[in-house]
Amino acid sequence: MKREELVASRWSLEKANAYMESFGVVKGVNYVPSYCYSYIEIWHHFREEWIVRELGYAKEIGINSLRIFVAACQWETRRELVCQNLDRFLTIASEMGFAVMLTLQPNTYQIPGQMLEEGEDPFQICYQPSGHDRSWNYKGARIFDCKGLWKEDKKGILQFVSEIVARYGQDRRVSFWDLYNEPWEECRELLEDAFSCAREQNPIQPLSSCWRAWDLSDIITFHCYEQPGKAPHKQAGGIHYLSFEDELTRATASGRPVLCTECVARTFGNELKAFLPYYSRMHIGFFVWGFCAGSAQYQIPWEWPVGSPEPKRWFQCLLYPDGTPFDVEEINLIQQFHFTSEEATSPVSGLN
């Protein structure tokens, strides 16, 4: 589809709002089992008993939605295993009453000519104490390569998007699509093509992608790790982060339903007690990054010195591995969170 056709193919405001109203207030987590070293390992090392136990913790603290990931490199090399375990996860989550956002990583793909040997484990664990999700490698894959090299295998990436949306696009165990996790500005072409491939499958769920797809998405999603009332915490890698207030202003501008699909960075001041009042007033659902602290070490800040003790105030994660809350006050805030009756489009400057 051409860009104009993609924009025109979006759900109407009425359809998007009616769909989201059926879920009530979304209170979610980006779910990574505590035994996993990364957010895509789950489909290779699926421990059902462990997962059921942790999802039970989620129910107990008031979580009703889960955001999960599948990468293009997994689909290419281990599709049967991925589908088997993803299907089982979706069944478990559905039976427990969770809405699921299926998030794609089109920019993680196999380098041509570097295939896995028969029976070879794709994860080569190189554990680093105090390493925030840096403890794994995927053999032969370009991880988070989103600055142009995706063009080497654009056909394969779009085949991944088409096939996975075709498989799950009519599956009510999936509630929302995030078609491309954090695309860079240079990836707008690939992002548009991904939306085109997905639209052709006519999925029953709304499509979205954070930051670069405001004009293409049925529902608006964004990530924010900033502290309300403060300047952005850093500018690195060519990314210009918006302030908390600017993120919310941009996200709510269209009047479409809004979800913050990644949040909580306590050491930056992005705490639940700081931002939930804004989300309540502006009718924004949320997905906290990290659930039970574990092998991926999400409680450790980004770029934390290797081997250093974890901070007293965790960076991310809500629970210890045994389900004990890191901060009971936060759990109370999640359980009590609701949308106020005031207009969702209230100016950010008017919030307290």
Tens digit of each residue's pLDDT (9 = 90 or more) over 279-302: 999 999 999 999 999 999 999 999
DSSP 150: G
| pLDDT of res. 175 | 98
Tens of pLDDT, residues 10-23: 999 999 999 999 99
Q: What is the pLDDT along the chain (352 residues), one digit of tens a residue?
A: 999 999 999 999 999 999 999 999 999 999 999 999 888 889 989 999 999 999 999 999 999 999 999 988 888 888 999 999 999 999 999 999 999 999 998 876 544 444 555 556 655 555 678 888 865 555 545 444 445 556 767 888 899 999 999 999 999 999 999 999 988 888 899 999 999 999 999 999 999 999 899 999 999 999 999 999 998 876 555 456 789 999 999 999 999 999 999 999 999 999 999 999 999 999 999 999 999 999 999 999 998 988 889 899 999 999 999 999 999 999 999 999 999 986 544 445 444 3
C-alpha distance from residue 19 to each of 62, 176, 266 (Å) = 21, 10, 32
Pick left, alpha or beta for residue 262 (phi over 0 → left; psi -120 to 50 → alpha; otherwise beta): beta
| pLDDT of res. 142 | 47
Pick left, alpha or beta for residue 310 (phi over 0 → left; psi -120 to 50 → alpha; otherwise beta): beta
Concatenate the DSSP letters of all residues of 40-92 into one string: TGGGTS--HHHHHHHHHHHHHTT--EEEEEEEHHHHHHHHHHHHHHHHHHHHH
Q: Which of 320, 340, 319, 339 is nearest to 331 (CA)?
A: 319
- What lies within 8 Å, CB to CB, of 22 at 6+ separation is none
C-alpha–C-alpha distance, residues 125 and 53, integer Å = 24
Q: Crossing angle, helix 154-168 and helix 188-200, to 10 degrees?
A: 40
C-alpha–C-alpha distance, residues 288 and 271, integer Å = 10
Query: For the chain, how far is it from start to end, CA to CA, in angstroms?
Result: 43
DSSP 260: E
Amino acid at 194: A
| pLDDT of res. 66 | 98
Strands, E, within the chain: which ranges? 27-30, 65-71, 99-105, 109-110, 141-142, 176-178, 207-208, 220-223, 258-263, 284-289
| pLDDT of res. 60 | 98
What is the CA angle 217-219-225, rounded to 5? Answer: 100
C-alpha–C-alpha distance, residues 119 and 21, integer Å = 46
| Tokens 């989201």 belong to residue | 20
Helix (H) or strand (E) holding 195: helix 188-200
| Tokens 């990644």 belong to residue | 262
Concatenate the DSSP letters of all residues of 9-38 into one string: TSPPHHHHHHHHHTT-S-EEEE---TT-SS
C-alpha–C-alpha distance, residues 15 and 23, integer Å = 13
What is the CA angle 93-202-180, rounded to 5? Answer: 65
| pLDDT of res. 127 | 66
Q: Which of 146, 77, 79 is nearest to 108 (CA)?
A: 146
| pLDDT of res. 343 | 55
Chain centre distance of CA 235: 21
